[in-house]
Amino acid sequence: MFNFRKSQPTIGFDLGLEKLNMVQITSVLGRPKIQAALSDYHDASYDLLLAEPERMKALIKRSFSSVPFVGRTVVSSMPNTKLQLMFVNYQCKSGQNEIEALLTAVSNRLNSDLHDYVVDYVPITPMIEEHQMRMALVALVKRDDVENYLDLLKKCGLKVAALEIGPIAIRRLISSMAGESEPEKTLVINFGTQKSYLTVLWHGDILLDRPLNFGLDTILQALGQALDIEPKLALKMIHDYGLSQKVIADTFDSMDETDIDTDTFDIRNESNDEEMIKIICDVLTPSFTQLAAEIREVLLYIASETRGGAVEHIYLLGSLARLRGLEQVIDRLISIPATILNPFYGFSVEGMLEDARDLGPLSGIAVATGLALRSVK
């Protein structure tokens, strides 16, 4: 008896520092369709989830009971705390196997045997001429950490089809979102808590991926020290007021008298908000100016590597992307159009997901969406 039943699409599974993000995508008439998505706080470190697997089991059970995912097969990324990314320059001599040359360079860089590691890599400058110095983005995970993670997911009833790294998932997402008229030379900034990553995608290839010592903690510390407030209060302040005066101006311009309920509308007004945003902007200007300087270094490097080529668009995601006005700040400092990455852009969405407020900032599930796209043909 023949079985013509269509195979179930895999689930993009991204266990972040704060939230579990899952996305499942099907294909309809050759276009991706978001079938199910979830972004849920787990309130535990990965080490705690590993030490107490019942916590992870409860998280997975809650997730699958609240959102109708189909099947239990996932494509996942390793938790960042166990993943090491490095950029390695290496030279492949005549007659030498390229992988062997790269592994030798990585081993020399670590000054240790690679036997205890699982290693994967992505060429940064593809189609480079023979004998020239080459560069690769290398992902290393201790073999024990991979086995522990796979065992944890297995205990939760999940089947892992593949493990990938974030930049690959982001590249796949951007490529899937881009139409014929979309920019093909993009800079993606994935903001983390302490570090961020700048990834340049050039006609579908990863041209550069660079870590950056800048993240949400950077601006919280700057604001906290300047105003003598705790980080939690600093975070609340920038969530309430945003990072750009243009945001509050647009908000008030779009309101009419019917929008305002005089029984609930507080004393805050446009003038007060503008004053607070001005204070925030003044305090954070040095931090964002330093960020802009590092971005410009990347843009200059790309121009030199591509003989005058230029990045045409900047996508923002991660921790800072949830702050209102970030795109205006980057746009003003860099003078390149900047957009908060919406991983659902250009995709059709299942009816129950059309109101996606429960997912939080959509940019937060970008990696999970890129992972889910692996199984979409």
Instruction: Give 96: exposed, middle or buried? Use CB within 10 Å, 0-12, 13-18, 19+.
Output: exposed
Output the pLDDT for position 270. 55
User: Residue 271: is its pLDDT beyond 70?
Assistant: no
User: Residue 247: is its pLDDT beyond 50?
Assistant: no
User: Residue 261: is its pLDDT beyond 70?
Assistant: no
Decide which of 23 and 360 is more confident: 23
This prediction's pTM: 0.80
Decide which of 203 and 251 is more confident: 203
Cβ distance 164 to 14 under 8 Å? no
Q: Give 124's DSSP letter.
A: S
Instruction: Name the least confident of 242-246, 348-352, 356-360.
Output: 356-360
Q: How far apart are CA 242 and CA 133, in angstroms?
A: 44
Cβ distance 56 to 155 under 8 Å? yes
Q: What count of other Cβ atoms lies within 10 Å of the Cβ of residue 1? A: 2
- Segment 95-112 shows an average pLDDT of 88
User: Residue 149: is its pLDDT beyond 50?
Assistant: yes
Output the pLDDT for position 218. 94
Give domain limits for the chain: 11-81+145-181+342-375, 83-142, 216-338
Can you name the CATH fold of 83-142? Dna Ligase; domain 1 (3.30.1490)
The residues, any chain, with a CB within 8 Å of residue 283's CB and separated by 6 or more, are 222, 223, 226, 227
Distances in Å between the alpha carbon of 298 and those of 136, 145, 272, 337? 16, 33, 38, 16
User: Residue 85: is its pLDDT beyond 60?
Assistant: yes
Q: How far apart are CA 10 and CA 14, in angstroms?
A: 13
User: Residue 249: is its pLDDT beyond 50?
Assistant: no
User: Residue 81: is its pLDDT beyond 80?
Assistant: yes
Pairing of strands 19-28, 31-41: antiparallel
The 3-state DSSP composition of the chain as helix, strand, coil percent (nearest 5) reads 45, 25, 30
**CATH of the domain spanning 11-81+145-181+342-375:** 3.30.420.40
Quickly state the pLDDT bin for 207 (edges 50, 70, 90).
confident
Gyration radius from the chain CA atoms: 22
Alpha-carbon torsion, ordered 151, 155, 156, 162, to 10 deg: 30
Percentage of the chain beyond pLDDT 70 is: 84
Q: What 3-state class would DSSP assign to 67?
A: coil
First to last CA, the chain: 26
Decide which of 344 and 173 is more confident: 173
User: Residue 1: is its pLDDT beyond 90?
Assistant: no
Output the pLDDT for position 306. 84
Residue with tokens 């992870």: 56
Q: Which helix (H) or strand (E) holds 170?
A: helix 166-177
Quickly state the pLDDT bin for 265 (edges 50, 70, 90).
very low
Instruction: Name the least confident of 29-38, 261-270, 328-337, 366-375.
Output: 261-270
Quickly state the pLDDT bin for 360 (edges 50, 70, 90).
low
